[in-house]
Structure 1
Amino acid sequence: MKERCLWHDTSPEPPLELAMLQGDHRTDVLVIGGGITGLSTALHLAEAGVSVTLIEAGDVPSGASGRNVGLVNAGLWIPPDDILAVLGEEIGERANTILGGAPAVVFSLIERHGIACQATRTGTLHLAHNGKGEQELARRAEQLQRRGAPVELLEAAACREHVGTRRIRRALLDHRAGTLNPAAYTRGLARAAQAAGASLYTHSAATAVARARDDWRITTAHGSIQAQRLVLATNAYTEDRWNEVRRHFFVGHFYQVASRPLSGTAADEILPGRQGAWDTRMVLSSIRRDAEGRLILGSLGKGESKPAAFLRCWANRIQRHYFPRLGSIEWEYSWTGRIGFTPDHTLRLFELAPGVLGVSGYNGRGITTGTVVGKGFAQYLMTNEDDALPLPIRTPRPIRARALRSSGYESGFTLYHTGQCLRVLS
């Protein structure tokens, strides 16, 4: 089992040959971070004729944008009514509406720019793993249908037909959603942004940011950029002490394990519509197939810190629980990505200083949320209007005890997975 990201190896979009920043430059807007949020910002600014430069510390992609499950999900992690309880009715419904339409924005960009990312638009499935989960899905379905969302509860035979297991008796199918290869989507956004006129540089980490009269001066190891406005699109991979985004999330992880390509009747029954899926467990499991027929399982936790034998044991346990007809299968890949968590499970949009925008806390919904936030940031930078963003731009209080929260989450995830491996938990 290779400790490599499957999506990078199987991306139909080839890597871009991007240079390192060298020398002194000037631009209207500098974007720091070459993931989905940063690239969406750069693309929409460049298409509007704004001078924009993007710098990335590694390759494109190197962070969560190329390492996630690849679910093109609508909405936030929590149900719509819970969003209103956290954000208030007006802002909450604004978030529900904009993020509910986010998959359509993603698929529109894919079509408009010809991004080869193995996209499917057949929905996603939320799976009830027990009776309590079934009640939770019914609650979500009612709230979404009340708002006109095209979702349906699948029961019994219809559920088995869509998922391919007798272990699940109820699933929530969201027709707005779909799947893609996230590394390919990110590379496609980079290609589109560059074609529109954005300047992109990789292996060019920002080492310092300082005021330069009315502008900002950003230095890297081999160059500098002077810009009127900054966008800090670093989210869960924010590490530099100068970057205040790091104070507005705490780090979590999500690991995945992928089999060799599968074929045959038993394999063909699993997610035949190629929907991506995740369950209602306390520590959820994600399930999907890729374009070559691999079974890909994932869960919350830091897989890269665990022995391969542990990951293999966990994957076998989940596979045999849901899909016993497959028999024994061989696992080919494992990889881990980071998640930016917030205590209330909602994102944060803020102006850290005059002309400096930041975002954090996608809570595992980075593909769609990052795309629409980038588009909204571009509009805000051009018009000073933030109505295209899911939330108004504010200056929230920093999150306390971030390291303790991260450690507590990871310990809980590991304990839960150990219980699954030991068959203490189903």
Structure 2
Amino acid sequence: MAWPRDLSAASLPPTYAASGEPAPTGTPLRGEAAADVAVIGAGITGASAALHLAAAGASVRLLDAEAVGAGGSGRAFGQVVPYLRREPARVLADLGTEAGERLIDAAARVPALVAGLVSRHAIACDLDSHGLIFAAHSAAGAAMLHRRRRAWAERGIDLPLLDAGEAAVAIGGGRYRAALIEPRGLSLNPLAYVRGLARAAVAAGARLHERSRVTAIARRSGGWQVDLRDGRILCDRVIVACGIELGAILPALRLRVLPLRVHEAATACLPPDMLAGALPRQRALTDTRRLPSGIRRTGDGRLVVTLPGPIAGSRVGDLPDGLARLRALFPRLKDAAFAETWSGWVDLTPDQYPRLVEPIPGLLVGYGLSGRGLGLGTALGRALAERAAGVPADDTPFPGADGPARRWFPGARLAAAVAAASFRRIDAWQARRDASPSSPGRNGP
């Protein structure tokens, strides 16, 4: 199955590209250059690594085959979530108490990290700090939210849990069984955010090279050589933070991540009277369906909606499904339509935990953000910078690859596509069941 490499800056969502931070101006690298650290990949993880390294006084070359944010970073839904894909009890069981607690704590701190960087570097990215809403579309979803609330209460964090009526008021519509407010969460324009990180890295002294595709990485006496299409960099250490392109840069790690395609759409700017009451406080809503099901309100009056769709191939997401969900949730938007649609990518690890590995001394690799890239990518970039500066591996919060390497099996993409189709049918069945007159509760949009 051919994988589309739609990573050009021209294809970035206008909803994101036309507001906030302007695109940086990085020139292609031609000829030979030197640096303490070469950072490959100018997404959120790479830009964060370059910023933290440059701020600490290192000479840095930040490289991207296309442009800053051209991959998954600039196409994300736009919410910063303070926890992992797995619930805390599962994390501790999977990683052990010490490593699990470090990673849980790191995830909990990412909204503060992101907000601090946005404030410190005056990044214009439509940051909203009123929190996030997670809504239960089924009885199982409600039970999951109750468990999440109890787990965080044991950690001293009180997450308000709303009943059906309170949820409808907080969301501005819908018939969800319950909703959990996550006051620590943020929403923002992801492309503007990564552009701001790159701009801050350059201001701190990093050199940005866009349209500079890496063709090889090799050890050399006293360091490393990074070969590019039109030049090369001699450096002491290399950081690879290239998301779904990991296998193209380091073929030995090709099966560490599974590239999954995700889809979104956005309305045009809607008039205030049409938007009145829709997500009046928290700008981003996600429900408990198995597949992405978010709706986010932007500062300029657009609604960004995640769409079901193929996880591979070149087809776009299901626009009618997304529009029907939007109109069902907010009936006053019956005349609303999508103005644009786009696709992005998630680099999924088998256990859905991000990793920081050093397969060869001096070669640092961060990967597997598994749909939590805005916050965890920022923290992973900082951790990569710290490791490059000599911080021991045990002092970083991200797990490495202890024991057998976690790899995807051949054919995993096909299996994931079958699973996604099955999840979509289950979600649709639950929505129909809960909307039936005999159902004890009518849930969802």
Range with bigger deviation, 314-323 or 391-400: 391-400
Q: Distance in 1 between matches of 2:230 and 2:377?
A: 29
Give the corresponding residue for 2:342.
Answer: 335
* Whole-angstrom CA distance in 2 between matches of 1:383 and 1:255: 39
| Preserved CA contact (<8 Å) 1:7 1:183 | no
- The structural deviation recorded for 1:383 is 3.0
**1:168 and 2:176 matched:** yes
Distance 1:304 1:246, change over 3 A: closer
Contact 1:215 1:227 survives alignment (8 Å): yes
Q: Distance in 2 between matches of 1:44 and 1:260?
A: 36
> Match for 2:415 among 392, 408, 416?
408
Q: Does 1:234 align with 2:242?
A: yes
How big is the shift at 1:334? 0.6
1:286 is displaced (CA, Å) by 1.0
Q: 1:396 to 1:126 in 2, by over 3 A?
A: farther
8 Å contact from structure 1 (residues 247, 398) kept in 2: no
Q: 2:365 aligns with which of 347, 358, 363?
A: 358
TM-score (norm 2): 0.89
Alignment partner of 2:299 out of 267, 278, 291 = 291
Q: Determine which of 144, 161, 183 is the counterpart of 2:152.
A: 144
Tell me how far apart the structure 2 counterparts of residues 347 and 303 of structure 1 sit (CA, whole Å).
20
Offset of residue 363 of structure 1: 1.1
Match of 1:68 among 76, 79, 103: 76
Task: Among all aligned residue pairs of Structure 1 and Structure 2, give the percentage whose two residues are the same amino acid.
Answer: 33
Distance 2:357 2:182 in 1: 30
Farther-moved stretch of structure 1 (393-402 vs 320-329): 393-402
Q: Report the counterpart of residue 385 of structure 2 in structure 1.
A: 378
State the alpha-carbon separation in 2 of the partners of residues 351 and 111 from structure 1. Answer: 32
Q: Which moved more, 1:143-152 or 1:114-123?
A: 143-152
Cα distance between partner residues in 2 of 1:286 and 1:99? 20
Aligned residue pairs total 424
Specify whether residues 353 and 7 from structure 1 end up closer, same or farther in structure 2 by C-alpha distance, changes over 3 A only. Answer: farther
RMSD: 2.4
Q: For residue 47 of structure 1, report the CA deviation from its aligned partner.
A: 0.6
Q: Which deviates more, 187-196 or 276-285?
A: 276-285
Give me the whole-angstrom Cα distance separating, in 2, the residues matched to 1:97 and 1:399. 23
1:274-304 CA-partner distances (Å, limit 9, x unpaired): 4312111122311111122112110454489
Q: Is the 8 A contact 2:78 2:190 kept in 1?
A: yes
Distance 1:314 1:412 in 2: 19
Change (3 A) 1:21 1:100: same
Evaluate the alpha carbon distance shift between residue 41 and residue 173 of structure 1 in structure 2; reply closer, same or farther with a 3 A threshold: same
Q: Say which of 31, 39, 42 aligns to 1:34.
A: 42
Q: Is the 8 A contact 1:154 1:172 kept in 2?
A: yes
SS in structure 1 of the partner of residue 248 of structure 2: coil
1:189 and 2:200 are equivalent in the alignment: no
Query: What is the alpha-carbon distance in structure 2 between the residues aligned to residue 56 and residue 141 of structure 1?
Result: 40
Q: Which amino acid aligns with 1:349?
A: L
CA gap of 1:241–1:402, structure 2 versus 1, over 3 A, is: farther
State the distance in 2 between where 1:41 and 1:140 align: 31
Give secondary structure in 1 for the equivalent of 2:295.
strand
| Alignment partner, residue 67 of structure 2 | 59
Query: Residue 7 of structure 2 corresponds to which residue in structure 1?
Result: none
Corresponding residue of 1:14: 22
Q: Which residue of 1 aligns with 2:443?
A: none
The residue that corresponds to 1:319 in the other structure is 326
Once the 2 structures are TM-superposed, how far is the Cα of residue 180 of structure 1 from its aligned partner?
0.4
Answer yes or no: is the 8 Å Cα contact 2:33–2:234 preserved in 1. yes
Distance 1:109 1:387 in 2: 25
Flag the 1:372–1:405 CA change in 2: closer, same or farther, 3 A: same
Q: What does residue range 244-259 of structure 1 map to in structure 2 within 5 Å?
A: 244-259=252-267
Code of the aligned partner of 1:90: E
> Shift of residue 400 of structure 1?
4.2
Shift of 1:4: 5.4
TM superposition score normalised by structure 1: 0.92
CA offset digits 1:286-345 (Å, max 9, x no partner):
11111221121104544895766x722111221233223321321111111110112222
Q: Is contact 2:295–2:306 with CA below 8 Å preserved after alignment?
A: yes
Equivalents in 2 of 1:183, 1:315: separation in Å?
22
Q: Report the secondary structure of 2:398's partner residue.
A: coil
Q: What residue identity is the alignment partner of 1:248?
A: R
- How far has the Cα of 1:78 moved from its partner? 1.3
Q: What 5-or-longer segments of structure 1 have no aligned partner?
A: none
Structure 2 equivalent of residue 94 of structure 1? 102
CA distance in 2, matches of 1:21, 1:387: 35
Q: How much does 1:388 deviate?
A: 5.5
The answer to whether the 8 A contact 1:303-1:311 is kept is: no
Distance 1:225 1:388 in 2: 29
Contact 1:122 1:178 in 2 (8 A): yes
* TM-superposed deviation, 1:416: 5.4
Which residue identity lines up with residue 119 of structure 1 in the other structure? L
